[in-house]
Each structure stands twice: as structure tokens, then as C-alpha cells.
Structure 1
Amino acid sequence: MRVLFIVYPSHAHFWPAVPLAWGLQSAGHEVRVATHARFEGSVTAAGLTPVGLGDASVDEARTRPDARAPAHPEEVLRYADALGLDEQGREHWIAYYQWLLNPISDYIRTDLPYADELIDFARQWKPDLVIWDPTFACGPFAARACGAAHARMLIGPDILAWSLDRLAERGTELLAAGLSPNPQVELMTPLAEKYGMEIDDELLYGQWSMDPMPPGMVLPTSTTTLAMRYVPYNGAEAFPRWLTDRPERPRVALSLGESTRRFIKGDWGRTPMILEAVADLDVELVATLNEPQLEGVDRIPDNVRVIEWVPLTHLMPTCSALIHHGGIGTFAAPAAMRVPQIVCDTGETLMMRPVEVDPRGPGDGTYRVGFEFGISEDVVEKVTSWELPAKKLEATLTADYVVARGAGLRLNHRTTSVEDIRRMITAVVEDPSFQRGARDVRESWLAMPSPADVVPLLEGMTAERR
């Protein structure tokens, strides 16, 4: 069969889909990956065939100055009140309404070429199955236009479906509060009208969802899901020769993920504390940080090796622990290789708050529409920037899971001293209970079907639903 993957042009979104694409391709199926034309090189580097959308010389949609900005906190909270959400539910809602709706809006715009080109390709190539990134929301339109079966490929907890379920439950209360009963439907309506399609649950949720989250990290939703092991893949990179040598002392890795390294400078003061903490320890720290992330670091200790990038799949087998930002993709590598973890989580709200800033300034801890990925347009005197929480979107969920299973500890750099961080690293490296917890996490990971295991299931579901 023919399978079309549709992914947001970001490694954090593409890499989780690669093992499944390989599994389908190895089983003899034709596989294509549709994404922004600027991202084609990353697809070919993974051994897959890209379908470039748009012009490679034009900036990706999220970097446009007219890209959708986050909703104002007052609007976010009006919805939370009308939805009757508890504290945890409010955080899920903030993640959806302030964070996820922004990329969702990018590739369903009727004034940009991406949706039209994708639908045209689907009609011509006629895939049997479309597997689409939930943030690339024109994917289900392409599937419907060619009659393909289609599924969402989740890369984290299904906050989108959880939020859509809440909207469906509280439509009367939302209308009474003067709020749209479904803001995502509003975003999708122009494209639906253009192609004469009705927005139903399949266009919102997919016919089913590929869910890589282990038990204990899955959000309850109304969707049909197919569990699949999150096999870590961090890009096609040469294996560093120094990793072939056995480390002389325990090796600890520090990784703050692949995505925020593009626009978060200084790491909110967290990295300087961690480097100071390891300076007097009998460990080797491998810190995979770029120059912006190292802003504010006055000294690199002698036992710290700073390298801008090395795939965690290369690094983890040599490590005794990983300190990381709580991203699901980063969590997956130590989980697969039974490595204990220290998960950075401040426990604060995910709410972004608008601030007026000098666009020529450093922008520490802020996000600016049109300035992501190191790209900036002609600057003006003031721009609206969004102050970000000092944590990853799913950091609390990841930290809760790791701590509950005894596989590591939570690091809140806002409340923890350098000496406490030092004791924390020592404990995770030396206490055998954390090794046992990491083994338990790996066993749970192994119990899930692999990408190769789910290929026959996808074949059957596609035959039923296309």
C-alpha cells in the first residue's frame, strides 16, 4: 500500500515518526513524507522520500510575522472557567489553547499554498493511508480528498483530543459565556468551505491515533488509539570516536532538547547551576548545548565536555544518568536504555504572558512570533514577546512518571540549591534503587508493540477504513 506521512517541519515532530516509516517501508510499502520544502533534507537524511510543500527559499510558516500569536491569558482563563476545569485540567487547556493551536493554524491557511499543494498531491498519488501530525491540520483534508484511511501520529500526551472532548462536553456553558464552542473548528472552517467538506470528528481526531505514550502517561480521551513503542531516533549522525572508549568515571549527560535551543537563551539560569554542581563531583558531564544555551555560563569545569550535538541514541549506552528538560523524545532514549533520569521541572503554570520588549535585545526566556529558529525580520522599536515558563510543555508529566517509578528525581532549579543538585546527581548515579527503577521503565517500554509489530495492524485497519 501507499502511505503518506505529513509532519510539521521540526525534528522534534519528524524523528518520532521515522521508525514507523522505516517499518512500513521495510515491509514493502511505498512511503512518502510531506512537509515544508525547507525540511526536505532532514527527510532524505533519514532514508525517506520527501514531498516538499511550498518554496524552499521561503521561511517556514511559523516564522512569518503574521503567524498566529498565543491567546491572551484572560481569554484562556475565561475558557477554563466555562469548562469547569480543575488545576491539572487548566494546565492541559493552557497547553492546547495557548501552545498547540498556534502551529495547528499554520498549515490550514487558505492564503498560503501548503494545504492546496498537499491536497493536490494526495489526489494524484492516491495514498491508501495518511498518517498526519496533529499540528499539521490539513492532513485529514488531504486524506478525505483522496479517500484514504487516516490516523494521527502523536508525539506526546494527547492534549488536543483531551481538550476537544472537554469542548464537546460543555458547549452550552461556552455559548452562555460568549465563547466559541470550538476554536479549532473556527480555524479549520475556511479550508473546509474551500473544499466543500464538513468538519466532523474524523477531521478533528483522525479515524484513530498512533499513541507512543507508556501506561501512566496516557491522557483519557474518546479516541480510538493504537499503542506503539516510542523508538528513539535522533538523526543520522556519525558515531563519535570518543564514545567507543569506556569512560574512566561515571558519565552523566545533560540535554535540554532539540526545539527550544533555537530561541531560548541562557536556559533561565539552570545550566550554570548544574555545571557548578558537577564541578566537584567525580563524574564526567557531557553537555549537549549550543552557544545561546550557554549564555550566562562563566566557566566550564574541567570535568565537563560541551558538544553542541550528539544523538542520545549514541550517548546513552555510555551514561550512568541523564539530566534533561522533560521532553518526551528526550525521555525515550534513557527509558529504552535503562538509564536513570533527573527531570527538570519547575512545577509552574504553562501560561505564556505577553511583554513588550526591544527586538534587538537578548530575549532570554521569551518567544516571539516570527522570530523562531533564529530567523528575524526587519525589526521595529517594540515587539510583543511572550514570557515562557521555565519548563518544557510536558515536563511535569514526565517528572511525575519517572519519580513515581523510582527511575530518577525531579530538579526544580527555582527552589533547589547548587549543593542540593550535587547531592541529587550523586544519588541518582550511585544508589542502585534508581537503576532498578530505570529497568522497570524499560520493561514497560518493551511491553508495548514496536513499530514493526503494528504494521500488520495498520494494513488491516487501512483495508477496513479507506
Structure 2
Amino acid sequence: MRVLFTVYPNSLAHLYPVVPLAWALQSAGHEVRIAAHHSSAELITKTGLTPVLLGDPDQPPVRLTDDCAPPHHQDIVNRYADVMGLSPEGREHWIVFYQWLMQPTSDYVRLDRSEAEDLIEFARVWKPDLISWDATIPAAAVAAKVCGAAHTRLLIGHDMFGWSLDRLAENESALKAAGLDPNPLATLIRPLAAKYGYEVDDELLVGQWSIETMLEGLRLPTSTKKLPMRHVPYVDPEPFPKWLYERPEATRCECCGRKNRRRVALSLGESTRRFIKGDWDRAPKIIKALGELDDLEIVATLDKAQLADVEEIPPNVKVIDWVNLPHLLPTCSALIHHGGIGTYSSAVAHKVPQLVCDVEGVSLLMRLVEDGDVNKTGTYRLGWEFDEREEGAPDAATAHWELPAKKVESTVVSDFVISTGAGVRLDHRATTVEEIRDLVWSVATNPCYRHAAAALHDDWLAMPSPSDVIPDLEKLVVQHRR
């Protein structure tokens, strides 16, 4: 069969989770293509898969233009949450969906850009049997309607879309009474669907089913149909450096003479370093604490933006802009990370205990600030990323958005890791340098964390692999393809 994947452009966090399933299908004899904006051509080609390029090659992705969609204002976000009577935890899920995810979703259903039209036209001509779509690319569901393909969402994280749509449906009457749109996602998609003669239904919003890659205890409860599949970490192939397959240089214990040096990885993510200068106040404090642990070799995968406020790199800290975590983690006793799903999953796959950076008690709500320094650490400007546009580029709204000092998934990930015993939360705002030092040492050396990480790895192995789900996908395609 022919399978078409869609991914959000220029994002490794959205591309890499797709690759193992795409390769499993291709290795089983199916034809596979990956559709994304022209700017993603090199990223997709490096995976060994075939890109289908969308949009005008002379135009940047929508998010790097001055007319990209801004986040919803904090007042309307909170008003929805109040009308729906959401719990504090539910409110945070709603914020991720409505303020964080709706803005990139809006990029690729626009009628004044050609990406959606190019995707639909390719599907009409190529006639895929199955379209697997990123939750932020609902134009793919319209394409499936047009060409008659079966279609599924491939969930690369928590299903904030399914969860939020369930809450909206439960509170439809109250939302209407309050003068609020009872389904803003449907409203967003409706103009594109109408252009091709379709009404918005549940399939256009959440697919005919969804491939669920989260472990049982980490999933959000939703009414959508799910096909479980193991999240297999993928990174682009790179030469394997010698220092990665040799153990860290060893020291000897004065008591017994045994070698006891351990390696710890520090990775604070790929996404935010593209548009946040510095790393809030996190990297300087963590690196200072790690410098006091002479018996640990630290490998910090940080770039110059993340290191902007770090005054000194200690002798035991090795800084590398980028290193493949599946290469690094097998030699590590612990991983300190930002709470991203991809990084968490790599630790699970390699049985590595985790310290998840998460600032407790801080909402994920972005706040619009009309004045102040737009280059302030922890802020986001529309249409602008480091290394993509010059720092002097005009800010479309002459305003900036203050971001919380944490990854959007960090709290649910840290809660889950703690519940399994496979790691701890590292709240850099609430702990001292000395407390961080002791926490890292404990996770890296206490066998209880290592045993719990191994048990979590067993749960991961019990999920079907990408190759295992292919027969199920083939049956679902027969059932749903027109």
C-alpha cells in the first residue's frame, strides 16, 4: 500500500518519532512519502525517506513570517477554563491545547498559503491508501477525504487535542451560553473543509483512529480509538566517536580501590533554544552544581544560546552542541533533561534513571507583555527564531510573550517518572546548588533508581513495535479506505 506521512516543518521533535514507523512500512514493501514545507527537505532526506515538498520554496514556514498566528490571549484561555470548571491539572492541559498547539495548527489550514492545497492535490494524484498525520496538520484529514484514504493521527506526545475536544463537548451548552465557540478547532478547519465540499466531523478533528505511543500510566484519557505502538527513539545517523564507546576515565575509591567514575548526560531540549536566548536561570545553576561532583563526568548537549549566562564550565563538564542520545545514553548512569517526550523516551529505552527539570506551581500560561525588553530571557516573539531571522527583525505585534520556565510536558513527565521510581523532579527554582548536587549524585549512584528504570524499560518493551503494528494498520486500511 501507499502511505503518506505529514509532519510539522523544521522540527526534529515532530519528524523523528515518525521515522521508525515509516521505515518499518517501507521495509515491509510499502511505498512511503513524508510531506512537509520545502524548508524540511534536507531534514527528511537525511532520514533516508522521500520528502514531498509543500508550499512556495521562496517563502519561509508560516511561523517565521510576520503574519503567523499569535497565541490566544491569557484572558480568553482562562475564561474557557473557568466556564468548563477545569481542575488545576485540567486547566494546564487546556492551556497546552488552546494557547500552545492551536497556533501552529492554524499555520497549515490557511487558504492564503499553498501548503494545504499542495498536500491535498498530491494526495488526489498519488492516491495513498493511508495518511498518517501530525495532530498539528489537520489539512491531512481533508486530503484523506478528497482521495479516499484511510487516515490516522500519529501521536508524538499527550493527546491534548482529544482530551480538550472531549471537555468542549461535555460543556457545549455552558460555552454557548457564555458566548464562547464550543469547538474552536472545528472553526479553524471549517474554511478548508468547505473549500473541498466537506462538513467538519470527528474524523477531520482526530482521525479515524490514533497511534498512541505513550505508556499506559502517561496517557491522557480520551474517547478516541487508539492503536498502541512503542515510541522508538530515532536520530539521524552520524559517525560514532571513540569517546562514546569507551567508558569515562576512571578514578579509584580510596577504600576499596574499585573504579567508580560515572557519566551523566545533561540535555535541555532542541525546541526552545531556537527562540529563547539563555535557558532561563536553569543551566548556570545546574552546571555549577555538577562542577562540584568530581566523580561524575558530565556530557552537556547545550548550544551557545543555552550557555549564554553560564560564567564558567567546570573541568568535569564536557559541552557538545549536539550528540545523539541513543549513542550517549548507554554509557550513562543518569540523564538530566527538560521533560520533553522524545528525551524522556530515549531514557526509558536505555534504562537510564532521570532527573526531570520542572518548576512546580508555575502555570504554562503565556502572558502577553506590551512593553519591556523583547530580547529578555524567557520570551517569545512572533515570526522569529535564532539563526533563522536577524535579531533586528521587526516584531509584528510590537509585543512579546513571557514563557514559563519549563517545557510544556515537564510536569506530567516528571510526575510519571516519580510515580515509577525511575527518577526525580529537579526544580531549579526551589532548590539550592548543594541540593541539586546531592540529588544528581543520589540518582546516579542509588541502585533503586536503576532497578526502577529497568522495570519501566520492560513496560516499554511490552508495547508493540512499529513492525508489530503493520498487520493492524493493513487491516484498518481495508476497513476505512473508500
The one-letter amino acid paired with 2:401 is W
1:406 aligned to 2:421? yes
Q: Report the Cα offset of residue 31 of structure 1.
A: 0.1
Q: Please give the per-residue CA displacement for 1:13-35, whole angstroms capped at 9, x wherever unaligned.
A: 01001000010000000000000
Q: Report the Cα offset of residue 54 of structure 1.
A: 1.3
- Counterpart of 1:199 in structure 2 is 200
The CA distance in 1 between the partners of 2:142 and 2:397, in whole Å, is 38
1:309 aligned to 2:310? no
Distance 1:233 1:373, change over 3 A: farther
1:65 aligned to 2:66? yes
Q: Report the Cα offset of residue 383 of structure 1.
A: 2.0
The CA distance in 1 between the partners of 2:394 and 2:203, in whole Å, is 41
User: For 2:306, what is the secondary structure of its paired residue?
Assistant: helix
1:429 to 441, 444, 449: 444
Q: Please give the per-residue CA displacement for 1:115-172, whole angstroms capped at 9, x wherever unaligned.
A: 1000000000000000000001201011111000000010101011100111111111
1:5 aligned to 2:5? yes
Percentage identity across aligned positions?
A: 56
Q: Report the Cα offset of residue 363 of structure 1.
A: 3.3
Q: How many pairs align?
A: 465
**Conserved in 1, the CA contact under 8 Å of 2:300 and 2:317?**
yes
**Conserved in 2, the CA contact under 8 Å of 1:105 and 1:137?**
no
**Conserved in 1, the CA contact under 8 Å of 2:382 and 2:395?**
no
- TM-score, normalization by structure 2: 0.95
User: For 1:185, what is the secondary structure of its paired residue?
Assistant: helix
Q: Which moved more, 1:365-374 or 1:26-35?
A: 365-374
**Conserved in 1, the CA contact under 8 Å of 2:368 and 2:399?**
yes
- Counterpart of 1:77 in structure 2 is 78
**Conserved in 1, the CA contact under 8 Å of 2:133 and 2:140?**
yes
Q: Report the Cα offset of residue 244 of structure 1.
A: 2.0
Q: Report the Cα offset of residue 369 of structure 1.
A: 1.0
- Counterpart of 2:291 in structure 1 is 279
User: For 1:266, what is the secondary structure of its paired residue?
Assistant: coil
5+ unaligned residues in a row in structure 2: which ranges? Answer: 250-260
User: For 2:370, what is the secondary structure of its paired residue?
Assistant: strand
Map residues 21-420 of structure 1 onto 2, 5 A cutoff.
21-248=22-249, 249-281=261-293, 282-347=295-360, 348-357=362-371, 362-372=375-385, 374-376=387-389, 378-379=393-394, 383-420=398-435
**Conserved in 1, the CA contact under 8 Å of 2:66 and 2:395?**
no
User: For 1:452, what is the secondary structure of its paired residue?
Assistant: coil
Q: Which moved more, 1:189-198 or 1:365-374?
A: 365-374
The CA distance in 2 between the partners of 1:315 and 1:22, in whole Å, is 23
The CA distance in 1 between the partners of 2:400 and 2:28, in whole Å, is 47
The CA distance in 1 between the partners of 2:126 and 2:51, in whole Å, is 13
The CA distance in 2 between the partners of 1:241 and 1:259, in whole Å, is 28
Q: Report the Cα offset of residue 210 of structure 1.
A: 0.5
Distance 1:218 1:380, change over 3 A: closer
The one-letter amino acid paired with 1:349 is S
The one-letter amino acid paired with 1:146 is C
**Conserved in 2, the CA contact under 8 Å of 1:38 and 1:60?**
yes
User: For 2:468, what is the secondary structure of its paired residue?
Assistant: helix
The CA distance in 1 between the partners of 2:187 and 2:125, in whole Å, is 28
Distance 1:11 1:380, change over 3 A: closer
The CA distance in 2 between the partners of 1:381 and 1:111, in whole Å, is 18
The CA distance in 2 between the partners of 1:380 and 1:121, in whole Å, is 35
Alignment root-mean-square deviation, CA: 1.3
The CA distance in 1 between the partners of 2:397 and 2:156, in whole Å, is 35
The CA distance in 1 between the partners of 2:8 and 2:190, in whole Å, is 20
The one-letter amino acid paired with 2:377 is D
5+ unaligned residues in a row in structure 1: which ranges? Answer: none
**Conserved in 2, the CA contact under 8 Å of 1:357 and 1:382?**
no
**Conserved in 2, the CA contact under 8 Å of 1:6 and 1:136?**
yes
User: For 2:469, what is the secondary structure of its paired residue?
Assistant: helix
Q: Please give the per-residue CA displacement for 1:427-450, whole angstroms capped at 9, x wherever unaligned.
A: 001111000110111011001000
Q: Report the Cα offset of residue 375 of structure 1.
A: 2.9
The CA distance in 1 between the partners of 2:397 and 2:233, in whole Å, is 41
User: For 1:293, what is the secondary structure of its paired residue?
Assistant: coil
**Conserved in 2, the CA contact under 8 Å of 1:358 and 1:381?**
no
Q: Report the Cα offset of residue 236 of structure 1.
A: 2.4
Q: Please give the per-residue CA displacement for 1:298-332, whole angstroms capped at 9, x wherever unaligned.
A: 00000000000001011001111000000000001
The CA distance in 2 between the partners of 1:289 and 1:305, in whole Å, is 10
The one-letter amino acid paired with 1:353 is R
Q: Report the Cα offset of residue 405 of structure 1.
A: 0.9
The CA distance in 1 between the partners of 2:271 and 2:397, in whole Å, is 25
User: For 1:371, what is the secondary structure of its paired residue?
Assistant: coil
Q: Please give the per-residue CA displacement for 1:341-387, whole angstroms capped at 9, x wherever unaligned.
A: 0000002111000113567x533111111013543374269721111
Q: Which moved more, 1:260-269 or 1:106-115?
A: 260-269
Distance 1:298 1:373, change over 3 A: closer
The CA distance in 2 between the partners of 1:356 and 1:418, in whole Å, is 34
Q: Which moved more, 1:240-249 or 1:213-222?
A: 240-249
User: For 1:436, what is the secondary structure of its paired residue?
Assistant: helix
- Counterpart of 2:454 in structure 1 is 439
The one-letter amino acid paired with 1:420 is E
The CA distance in 2 between the partners of 1:89 and 1:424, in whole Å, is 29
User: For 2:128, what is the secondary structure of its paired residue?
Assistant: coil
